[in-house]
Structure 1
Amino acid sequence: MERTRIAKVEDVKLVRRGEQVEGTLHLTPHHLIFCHTPPATTEDAKVRPRELWITYPIIHTCTLRPSPPASHLPSSIRLRCRDFTFVCFCFTDEKKARDVYDSIKAWTCKLGRIEKLYAFSYQPQQPEKDVNGWLVYDARREWKRLGISEKGADKGWRISTVNRDYGFSPTYPALLPVPSAISDNTLNYAGKYRSRVRLPVLTYLHPVNNCSITRCAQPLVGIKGNRSIQDEKLLLAIFSTSHSDPNAPDSPSRPRSRQSLRSDEDETGAPGSDPPPTDAEALEDELIARTGSEDKPDEPKVYGAQQHNLIVDARPTVNALAMQAVGLGSENMDNYRFATKIYLGIDNIHVMRDSLQKVIDTLKESDVTPLAPNREALAKSNWLKHIGLLLDGAGIIARQVALQHSHVLIHCSDGWDRTSQLSALSQLCLDPYYRTIEGFIVLVEKDWLSFGHQFAHRSGYLSSEKWFNIENERIGGDNTKQPGLPGQGSGAGQALENALLSAKGFFNKDNKSRDSIVDSDGELQPYDVSSAPRKGSTHAKGGGNDKSTTKVKETSPVFHQFLDATYQLLCRHPTRFEFNERFLRRLLYHLYSCQYGTFLLNNEKERVEARVSERTRSVWDYFLARKEQFTNDQYDATIDDNVRGRERLVLPGSGQLRWWNELFGRTDAEMNGTPRRNHALVNDESEVVDPSVLTGVETAHSAVGAGAQGNALPNGDAGALSALAAGLGGLGLTKGKGIEGNKSPPNLKREMESDGEEPTSPAPAEEPSVPADSAPSGGSMTVLEALKGVLKLALIHDGLARGLREASKALDRRQAHMCVLNEGCEEEAYKKLVVALCGEHGIPLIKVPDGKMLGEWAGLCVLDREGNARKVVNCSCVVVRDWGEESQERSILLNYFQTEQ
């Protein structure tokens, strides 16, 4: 009780969806409980009290609003919960309101240790008491179901115990299915080439064609293009494990397309069945097949010889290349000639967190108003777009395994976020077992829990004081945003900036670990010199790091996205899943309730050391004890590949996404509107019909992109690749020779655009330095005078991006009419980056000799009473984003660019 300022408050009003009820608020060590008695419907009716229970870890944002001075408004506490419960408690006594606020804060974010959460004291009653959910998943039993066992026939795989004590790879499971041809000694060497020793291992084996889904983390390629013979040997062995016999009864003589599977069916489709492939899906499959087949164009088309075995890098192309600056990166396909690599362009944890926050901002008044949310604001959150890209990526993987009879290796950065999403979703599509209640439990245990998704970090169970605030006592920042959750850009501009800053920090002599500049998603974060470890500090010695502390920037709704994507599949195929929507919704609730021990820690090793299976109950107890409540009434367990709608394989389709309105506590009409309107909103937020997640395809011999037209990468990605390479080269890390073992990005882009033909290399453009007296032909105003006028006018209209970082971002996003660069700038890396971006996007670039002069023109100064510039700041670069209005100076500059450049 030491944390409880007050245990009971009477005469409290609960406001929810604009409705008010009065009751009593109780504070216990693990729950906030509101009790009220609804009015009786008849005089003789006995009314039972109703209770609202809120477990403390599920509280995400708590705001105390004291009673304003000279106002009759009561003090209130507003709660936003992770299960999208929005409530407001109103108090007649402000002191009691503050005591309740302080008590909630103490019980929520001052526990200090995971062991103090509710799961370690929870004692179940019937019917849960007799159920043991810890026994549902057994790794050896699941591998045996997939055909891998010591006593069974050799399918090319064995179970290695090299990690039995978790000393080999602390975030991996104890049992690792690997190719039979690979020894543990080879695994030891191969593991050193993958981030956090998360080397390629099996997660799924298709029972019909013996093709596999494997998963890993990014390779340690680095600036010098490092390679590992053992890693290459391991991947070759993985991709060689299936050699299908054409005469085998379950093995077709050739890969079958989706059309051939249904050649005898009509193409109109039926509810619950897969439609013909969309344009985006057809483009994806054709692009992968065409690029992979270019390696051996003259060989006859024999089944098995043309398997398009894939390495799937889930990240945006630019982000993957940027990781080379800190010793990581993506596979150099010159060393993996037996495979094709694709990039999926799925954004990182920061983008997903910000996207969900935008949804919450749209719903945040749900406690005080019954009004429907703004659907346009929901669309602009891009939440459905991100879900759609995940499903598209899972669809690519499922089609490659089931229809193209190919192996797929999946990774992102560290292989525990996007990799888990794609791996689990593709298996849901491929295997009917995982669409049962028991199978879904096994899937979550296998691909999320045992493979080390960081549930504790992503969920923030111990909360943070940043999520608690008192109105009118906030200091700084934007009060409309969620405290502690700044945006983390995912685009090329952010990747470029983070790559350069992090590379400088990585090679700083005081930096001993890449973990200080790479977050738990394996993505770059800007290197902050002010936070660099100093000699003698606790941080430098490795002390003072509490693993249980919530790191706000590492929280992200990764598992939530997986459940939402599963919900989309359930809506698309309502008869193919044994579980219902409520099963998914309650699973998300118990992800955050901390009532069970299943999700509390980050990996199998931590759970074994904490003895959670002995000290807590499994979350699966809750569902298995109430199985009838979570069973889908429409479920049809029949599997028949010859009957449409009953095939083993289900696919996501496209254009069918909908808001999970039950989760958000809203009606279908409020969240989705009419089907026609909902479709329009999805298109509005994605900007194109059937957008593809595929952003690049690469083999040892060719590289193309999945742009809307032709084979070139989208301009933004291609330009960012070129600019990033130029920027990295400017750091002096590559000794001017490019990245060893890899094609330089400019040449790579030219290959993409030339469609295999040798292009003519254009001469590099020279950026003019403008003498002070230079004037365009036929004009009296000098170029510098015109430039001064243009900058002054743009400044008035807030149309300038000033400084190298802001200018680089504006250039990369092509939000620039022209760029001005100070010749005296000493940041050579950024200068090269600016020049590369201007050349890539065709943005006019002009150089000036004086940074102080540029600073004055760009408004980086203080004007005295006479209008003279004082305290002028030296400026390195300025980008004009908005001309402001028509002017003579603008015309002179444009004429200069056309005639002189």
Structure 2
Amino acid sequence: TKSFFKRNSPELLHKSWEIVVNEANFVRKCIGADSSQDDLWGKLICTNFKVSFITHDSLPQQCTHRLLGEHDIPLACVEQVVTVNDAKGKQKILGCNKKLKFNPTELILYCKDFRIARFRFDEAGPESAKKVCLAIAHYSHPADTQLLFGFEYVGTRFYSSSGNKVNGVDPGGGLQTPLFDCSSDWDREIKRTGASEWRVCSINEDYLVSPSLPEFFVVPSSLADQDLKQYACYFNSQRIPLWCWNHSNGSALVRMSSITEPQQQRKLDQRICSAIIKSHPLRSDVLKTDLDKILPNIQEIQTALVKLRQICVIDPFEESEEKWLSSMESSRWMEYVRAFLKHAVEVIYMLEGKQASVILQEEEDRDLSCVISSLVQVMCDPHCRSLAGFQGLVQKEWVMAGHRFLDRCNHLKKNDKEESPLFLLFLNCVWQLMEQYPAAFEFTEMYLIMLSDSMWVPVFSTFLFNCPRQRAEHSRDFALSKSISLGKDQSLRFPPVWDWSQQFSLKDQALFNNPLYVGKSAPCVHNGTVPTTCSQANWTC
């Protein structure tokens, strides 16, 4: 056994960017809840990227991950680090700088992906057990964005010491997924949806107008750049109205933040609505829905997830099925999933049945609007149910539109009040649609799971930042600190999650493809029946 621990070391991504921080030998990983019969013995290791457990035994895996082993947990996925001392009857939750006054006999890691990992130190040295626990607690709470592992990974892997790019990535993972970071991607989307009266706007180049908008986005052709610059100061975070998508009948889906100057409210509403009306071939009305008034807020959604996690990970099957189902209902998670799906269908009715353009308004237009705009397009547009189309949709409506992934995922564990699982909620809504229309989607449940799990692998640009500007600024600062010459890029090129070859082989990626997929033969995928009437309280002209 001793020779095993001497001989076996963790599979590091590369010694120059993933380093072992601390380790403990003769550790037991608890597998069964009631018995130690199935427990595994091995070495527990903390690196600057993951918690790794190396054991003699291994279990068959459906997918082999290229960045993580069978028993690995990325540090970004660790929600809570709990140490236990059986003899003293003590338990302590460890944070970044907390001290541990007792030698732990057990370590429990509560993970954001609903896993619980338990390790026993009965045979391990007490000091090594304490050190590895403290290392996990410290490295799972990075003090700054640039301490996230993705910076070290990208800075070393994709650039040589001279600063030349040494290993490019295929941003679409072979699927030609548009990243919407250039005007040509937006041009293609305009042509694809037939939005002939809309144009690509570049007034936000170098983020001069709004810090959270992309450099390129789409606006009505009748609105001049000078007018847009003038209007920007009246919108929350200078987030002027953004085009999302066009229905085949000409109705447009638009999203915007709230207007901060009440005295300008009516004037701006009229100008924006007039421009959208001109972009419609039938000059149809424009309807507006205030998402903050009719949908749960980010704190309510986070509370629902916390309750759901407690129900799912604490021996749920010890209770009767009826009690477990009632607990699920009381978490309100499914109620919120239902609320978002229902409102997306109402928006579709306005676009399709009323042939009216719709404006989604939210205080800052970075959370609830991401979910609703995406669901509407998934339901109405067969292209968004293809693999490449769905990936482009997430890139357009979440990443480039400035969803706060860094804060909502709480990667730095600094502000729990900002944490909220909006993207997980969206994926859950998509799964509900897939269950109703299994042949309408090119991708599988496995794909949604892997996409969700990728949020906690702090390597991909998709989930690391709050907006494109933050990505550019932080990567530029990191490059300067490491003397990396960026050349034409002007920022580190983080791989998007859509470059699936970073995580899986082509054979494993085949599990993402739905063999029942029928392509565009299912034009509409609604959650239930589209209502013939909608609550007028939710809509204003």
Length-normalised TM-score, structure 1 = 0.48
2:304 to 355, 358, 368: 355
2:200 to 150, 159, 183: 159
Structure 1: which amino acid aligns with 2:29? K
Quick one: structure 1 residues 216 and 408, their matched pair in 2 at CA, closer, same or farther if it must change by over 3 Å?
A: same
Partner SS state of residue 178, structure 1: strand
Structure 2: which amino acid aligns with 1:554? E
Between the aligned partners of 1:70 and 1:606, the Cα distance in structure 2 is 45
The answer (yes or no) to whether the contact 1:62–1:79 under 8 Å persists in 2 is: yes
Quick one: structure 1 residues 13 and 190, their matched pair in 2 at CA, closer, same or farther if it must change by over 3 Å?
A: same
Quick one: structure 1 residues 366 and 615, their matched pair in 2 at CA, closer, same or farther if it must change by over 3 Å?
A: farther
The answer (yes or no) to whether the contact 1:397–1:408 under 8 Å persists in 2 is: yes
Partner SS state of residue 632, structure 1: coil
The answer (yes or no) to whether the contact 1:5–1:102 under 8 Å persists in 2 is: no
Between the aligned partners of 1:588 and 1:16, the Cα distance in structure 2 is 26
1:864-900 Cα shifts (integer Å, max 9, x gaps): xxxxxxxxxxxxxxxxxxxxxxxxxxxxxxxxxxxxx
Quick one: structure 1 residues 359 and 153, their matched pair in 2 at CA, closer, same or farther if it must change by over 3 Å?
A: closer
In the other structure, the counterpart of 1:852 is none
The answer (yes or no) to whether the contact 1:3–1:103 under 8 Å persists in 2 is: no
Matches for 1:200-211 after TM superposition, within 5 Å: 200-206=241-247, 208-211=248-251
Q: CA deviation at 1:111?
A: 4.3
In the other structure, the counterpart of 2:364 is 414
Matches for 1:104-143 after TM superposition, within 5 Å: 104-118=136-150, 120-121=152-153, 123=157, 131-133=170-172, 136-139=177-180, 140-143=183-186
The answer (yes or no) to whether the contact 1:456–1:602 under 8 Å persists in 2 is: yes
In the other structure, the counterpart of 1:215 is 255
Quick one: structure 1 residues 147 and 359, their matched pair in 2 at CA, closer, same or farther if it must change by over 3 Å?
A: closer
Structure 2 residue 27 is the aligned partner of structure 1 residue 8:
no
Structure 2 residue 513 is the aligned partner of structure 1 residue 631:
yes
In the other structure, the counterpart of 2:528 is 653
The answer (yes or no) to whether the contact 2:288–2:539 under 8 Å persists in 1 is: no
Partner SS state of residue 31, structure 2: strand
Stretch deviating more after TM superposition (625-634 or 170-179): 625-634
In the other structure, the counterpart of 2:459 is 595
Between the aligned partners of 2:363 and 2:268, the Cα distance in structure 1 is 20
In the other structure, the counterpart of 1:618 is 496
Structure 2 residue 109 is the aligned partner of structure 1 residue 234:
no
Q: CA deviation at 1:12?
A: 2.2
Q: CA deviation at 1:370?
A: 11
Between the aligned partners of 1:436 and 1:17, the Cα distance in structure 2 is 41
The answer (yes or no) to whether the contact 1:213–1:408 under 8 Å persists in 2 is: yes
Length-normalised TM-score, structure 2 = 0.78
Q: CA deviation at 1:615?
A: 4.2
Between the aligned partners of 1:381 and 1:219, the Cα distance in structure 2 is 34
Between the aligned partners of 2:89 and 2:298, the Cα distance in structure 1 is 45
In the other structure, the counterpart of 1:552 is 416
In the other structure, the counterpart of 2:281 is 243
The answer (yes or no) to whether the contact 1:579–1:631 under 8 Å persists in 2 is: yes
RMSD value over aligned CA atoms? 3.5
The answer (yes or no) to whether the contact 2:273–2:286 under 8 Å persists in 1 is: no
Structure 1: which amino acid aligns with 2:273? L
Partner SS state of residue 453, structure 2: helix
Between the aligned partners of 1:402 and 1:70, the Cα distance in structure 2 is 63
Between the aligned partners of 2:58 and 2:199, the Cα distance in structure 1 is 65
1:325-379 Cα shifts (integer Å, max 9, x gaps): xxxxxxxxxxxxxxxxxxxx11111101111111112133259989989222111
Structure 2 unaligned segments of length 5 or more: list them.
1-14, 60-68, 91-102, 159-166, 477-490
2:40 to 21, 36, 52: 21
Structure 2 residue 188 is the aligned partner of structure 1 residue 145:
yes
The answer (yes or no) to whether the contact 2:202–2:216 under 8 Å persists in 1 is: yes
Structure 2 residue 351 is the aligned partner of structure 1 residue 394:
no
Partner SS state of residue 107, structure 2: strand
Q: CA deviation at 1:693?
A: 9.4
Matches for 1:226-375 after TM superposition, within 5 Å: 226-227=264-265, 229-244=267-282, 307=284, 309-316=286-293, 345-366=294-315, 374-375=324-325
Between the aligned partners of 2:152 and 2:416, the Cα distance in structure 1 is 24
Q: CA deviation at 1:570?
A: 1.0
Between the aligned partners of 2:421 and 2:250, the Cα distance in structure 1 is 33
The answer (yes or no) to whether the contact 1:171–1:451 under 8 Å persists in 2 is: yes
The answer (yes or no) to whether the contact 2:146–2:474 under 8 Å persists in 1 is: no
The answer (yes or no) to whether the contact 2:50–2:73 under 8 Å persists in 1 is: yes
Quick one: structure 1 residues 695 and 26, their matched pair in 2 at CA, closer, same or farther if it must change by over 3 Å?
A: farther
The answer (yes or no) to whether the contact 1:80–1:364 under 8 Å persists in 2 is: no
The answer (yes or no) to whether the contact 2:302–2:419 under 8 Å persists in 1 is: yes
Quick one: structure 1 residues 382 and 201, their matched pair in 2 at CA, closer, same or farther if it must change by over 3 Å?
A: same
Partner SS state of residue 426, structure 1: helix
1:248-281 Cα shifts (integer Å, max 9, x gaps): xxxxxxxxxxxxxxxxxxxxxxxxxxxxxxxxxx
Between the aligned partners of 1:87 and 1:432, the Cα distance in structure 2 is 40
1:570 to 430, 434, 440: 434
Q: CA deviation at 1:408?
A: 0.6
Structure 1: which amino acid aligns with 2:80? T
Between the aligned partners of 2:422 and 2:58, the Cα distance in structure 1 is 42
In the other structure, the counterpart of 1:442 is 392
Matches for 1:700-849 after TM superposition, within 5 Å: none
1:732-758 Cα shifts (integer Å, max 9, x gaps): xxxxxxxxxxxxxxxxxxxxxxxxxxx
Partner SS state of residue 359, structure 2: strand
Between the aligned partners of 1:137 and 1:570, the Cα distance in structure 2 is 23
Structure 2 residue 471 is the aligned partner of structure 1 residue 432:
no
In the other structure, the counterpart of 1:68 is 87
1:396-427 Cα shifts (integer Å, max 9, x gaps): 11222233221011022110000111001101
In the other structure, the counterpart of 2:537 is 696
Quick one: structure 1 residues 83 and 693, their matched pair in 2 at CA, closer, same or farther if it must change by over 3 Å?
A: farther
Between the aligned partners of 1:454 and 1:604, the Cα distance in structure 2 is 10
In the other structure, the counterpart of 1:185 is 226
Q: CA deviation at 1:385?
A: 0.3
The answer (yes or no) to whether the contact 1:402–1:430 under 8 Å persists in 2 is: no
Q: CA deviation at 1:226?
A: 4.3
Quick one: structure 1 residues 132 and 563, their matched pair in 2 at CA, closer, same or farther if it must change by over 3 Å?
A: same
Structure 1 unaligned segments of length 5 or more: list them.
41-49, 245-303, 317-344, 464-549, 640-645, 656-689, 701-901
Between the aligned partners of 1:153 and 1:565, the Cα distance in structure 2 is 27
Structure 2: which amino acid aligns with 1:349? I
Q: CA deviation at 1:199?
A: 1.3
Question: What count of residue pairs does the alignment treat as equivalent?
Answer: 466
Q: CA deviation at 1:618?
A: 2.0
Partner SS state of residue 347, structure 1: coil
Q: CA deviation at 1:16?
A: 5.3
Quick one: structure 1 residues 572 and 142, their matched pair in 2 at CA, closer, same or farther if it must change by over 3 Å?
A: farther
Stretch deviating more after TM superposition (29-38 or 55-64): 29-38
Partner SS state of residue 182, structure 1: coil
Between the aligned partners of 1:75 and 1:121, the Cα distance in structure 2 is 33
In the other structure, the counterpart of 1:198 is 239
1:58 to 77, 98, 101: 77
The answer (yes or no) to whether the contact 2:83–2:104 under 8 Å persists in 1 is: no
Structure 1: which amino acid aligns with 2:305? L
Between the aligned partners of 2:89 and 2:78, the Cα distance in structure 1 is 31
The answer (yes or no) to whether the contact 1:114–1:462 under 8 Å persists in 2 is: no
Q: Quick check: which has more Rg, 1 or 2? A: 1
Partner SS state of residue 439, structure 2: coil
Structure 2: which amino acid aligns with 1:365? I
Quick one: structure 1 residues 62 and 695, their matched pair in 2 at CA, closer, same or farther if it must change by over 3 Å?
A: farther
Partner SS state of residue 68, structure 1: coil
